[in-house]
Amino acid sequence: MAKHETPLLDQLESGPWPSFVSDIKQEAEARAKNEKGVEYQIPVDVCEDLLGVLELSFKHGRTHWKHGGIVGVFGYGGGVIGRYCDQPEMFPGVAHFHTMRVNQPGGKFYTAEYLRQLCDLWDMRGSGLTNMHGSTGDIILLGTTTPQLEEIFWELTHTYNQDLGGSGSNLRTPADCVGEARCEWSCYDTQALCYHLTQEYQDELHRPAFPYKFKFKFDGCPNCCVASIARADISFIGTWKDDIRLDQEAVAAYVGGELPPNAGSHAGRDWGPFDIQKEVIDLCPTECMSYADGKLAIDNRECNRCMHCISVMPRALRIGNDRGCSILVGAKAPILDGAQMSTLLIPFIKVEEPYDEIKEVIENIWDWWMEEGKNRERLGELMKRQGFQKLLEMCNLKPDPRMVQEPRTNPYIFWKEDEVPGGFQRDIKEFRKHHLR
Amino acid sequence: MPTVEYGGKTFTVDEDGFIDSFDNWNEEWVQLVKEAEGIDELTDEHWKTVQVLQDYYKKNGIAPMVRILSKVTGFKLKHIYELFPSGPGKGACKMAGLPKPTGCV
């Protein structure tokens, strides 16, 4: 018998998709039975009270969590999101319901043993509910009380060699695509770079020192499987400089129908036999490909490495061998002055340990933004306010046509005084000698 | 909101232990917060940080950015964490009686 009636939530147990309601009920039941004899450190009925408060929100159409919440562990300024229920008498199990962010491993690869340990800890000291994973990448431990925070942190760091993730005005937990671990398009080792920079900037991650939040994301290629271009202040997107590697025999196999296009991604519907002209050549955005006499040709100088042809014929076309990444900056959600995707700052940079060149870019950007950024101003907004030129100056970069989609159309062009012969100091009397009033 | 007593004074606080109003701040409050925030001994540097936060808040109506706190006190962020293990927000602002930090924390 459940503690609260949940008629509205119960409807979400039907249908084919895995039901979060059924799962939470299952956890509630497991806690009630407690077959392992766990010494629960927070209320046993936390899951039932969570369903109760959620049902109430369904009924009222509004949230029942209080504003904000500032909790944490000593030494860190972030990592824990405090939360209190606004109906603590009715739902004492979730009177405290803090979230802990735990830094996830690259590519989110796990062993069962690791996850089991984490679950044992969370079963005892938390609600038993999680979010795998938060959008930024963290393992999210969902719901515990203030006194448990230090206990959990101690256990995480001492027993599991595991740290918290980031929150607040700091470097948030970096995340990467699966990268070279199991993708043949990865142009650099995303997990290695992500791990290295996460370790390098632990201080910036744990102790907020920035005007606002700041995120890194690492994509192995322009397919952007971790969506770095939309969801990171600095997006690292893999690319190559030389030619696409071509296997003409495999091309013939695609044309002959032995290999399915897009590795069979569209097998659910009959799109007719593969037509290389229609599906590859004619869709190339720069029209730099041709197919004649059974041979595929690519004018690599005109290729913008959009990945389309490689995605359609993965067995025939491969990324080049001269690899690195592009660095784009400034992506953010709409608040305050509108959504932004990242803008190309560095067209190509080698990704080689110890990544000094990349760190130099990051630190130059931080130096500028930490000094000039207003309170709660994202990097993308500072770029808008002070101008892209300023960013180039701070990064010691020369302007490059690849940094713009198109040149400006308005003529409000600023010049530096030393670029103008004679400077800006002029005497009106001198002018009047030639132009009478 | 719950109340706590310390040194013969009563304070109204929220769940996170922040004082309800800046006007109700006094020196007993600092002693009270000290323990919850993992501070053994209050030094001149603690008081300087509290003073800077309060002056800034009285003048501007908001807490200063971390960078400004560092600049005015001359304490690097690392040192601020040595003084206040929970950091400038949860530790120092709470002790100074400033309102609870808000936003995407």
Mean pLDDT of chain B: 92
Mean pLDDT of chain A: 97
CB–CB contact A207 B67 (8 Å): no
CB–CB contact B66 A74 (8 Å): no
A271-300 pLDDT, tens per residue? 999 999 999 999 999 999 999 999 999 999
Catalytic residue among B16, B44, B61, B104: B104
Q: What does the pLDDT average to over A18-35?
A: 97
Task: Return the H-helix or E-strand segment holding A419.
Answer: none
pLDDT-derived band at A2 (thresholds 50, 70, 90) equals confident
A177 Cβ contact list (under 8 Å, min separation 6): A107, A183, A186, A190, A218, A219, A220, A224, A225, A226
Give the single-character DSSP code of A85: B
CB–CB contact B66 A169 (8 Å): yes
Give the per-residue pLDDT at B68: 92
Give the per-residue pLDDT at B102: 80
Mutate to test the interface with A, among B20, B56, B93, B105 (most CBs of A within 10 A): B105
> What SS3 state is found at A287?
coil
B59 Cβ contact list (under 8 Å, min separation 6): none
- In 3D space, the residue among A401, A380, A402 whose CA is nearest the CA of residue A391 turns out to be A380
CA distance A88 to A381: 40
- Give yes or no for residue A324 having a pLDDT over 90: yes
H helices of chain B, in order, are 27-36, 44-60, 66-73, 77-83, 87, 94-96
CA distance B95 to B47: 10
Give the per-residue pLDDT at B2: 86
Q: What does the pLDDT average to over A113-122?
A: 97
CB–CB contact B103 A376 (8 Å): yes
Please provide residue A134's backbone torsions phi and psi, each rounded to the nearest 5 degrees. Answer: -65, 160
A317 Cβ contact list (under 8 Å, min separation 6): A244, A245, A246, A247, A251, A309, A310
A163-220 pLDDT, tens per residue? 999 999 999 999 999 999 999 999 999 999 999 999 999 999 999 999 999 999 999 9
Chain-centroid distance, C-alpha A435: 61
A73-92 pLDDT, tens per residue? 999 999 999 999 999 999 99
Give the per-residue pLDDT at B8: 87
Give the per-residue pLDDT at A68: 87
pLDDT-derived band at B35 (thresholds 50, 70, 90) equals confident
- In 3D space, the residue among B91, B90, B105 whose CA is nearest the CA of residue A81 turns out to be B105
A393-425 pLDDT, tens per residue? 999 999 999 999 999 999 999 999 999 999 999
Please provide residue A266's backbone torsions phi and psi, each rounded to the nearest 5 degrees. Answer: -110, 25
Instruction: Flag whether residue B100 sits within 8 Å of chain A, measured between CB atoms.
Output: yes
Closest CB to A70 among B38, B65, B100: B100
Chain B residue with the nearest C-alpha to that of A372:
B67
- Give yes or no for residue A225 having a pLDDT over 60: yes
- In 3D space, the residue among A114, A328, A110, A76 whose CA is nearest the CA of residue A202 turns out to be A76
A262-273 pLDDT, tens per residue? 999 999 999 999
The amino acid at B43: T
- Give yes or no for residue B1 having a pLDDT over 90: no
Beta bridge partners of B5: B10
CA distance A130 to A115: 12
CB–CB contact B89 A168 (8 Å): yes
Closest CB to B65 among A71, A81, A211: A211
Number of A to B CB contacts under 8 A, please give it.
65
Q: What does the pLDDT average to over A242-253?
A: 98
Task: Return the H-helix or E-strand segment holding A147.
Answer: helix A146-159
CA distance A291 to A312: 15
CA distance A35 to A123: 12
For the complex shown, is ipTM > 0.90? Answer: no
Q: Kindly list the residues from chain A whose CB atom is less than 8 angstroms away from the CB atom of residue B38.
A: 74
- Give yes or no for residue A1 having a pLDDT over 70: no
Q: Is B93 marked active-site?
A: no
Give the per-residue pLDDT at B103: 74
Tokens of A378: 């994202």
pLDDT-derived band at B7 (thresholds 50, 70, 90) equals confident
CA distance B37 to B34: 5
Crossing angle of helices A146-159/A112-125, nearest 10°? 150
For residues A73 and A142, is the Cβ–Cβ distance under 8 A? Answer: no
CA distance A160 to A43: 25
CA distance B62 to B60: 5
Tokens of A384: 């808008």
pLDDT-derived band at B105 (thresholds 50, 70, 90) equals low
CA distance A82 to B105: 9
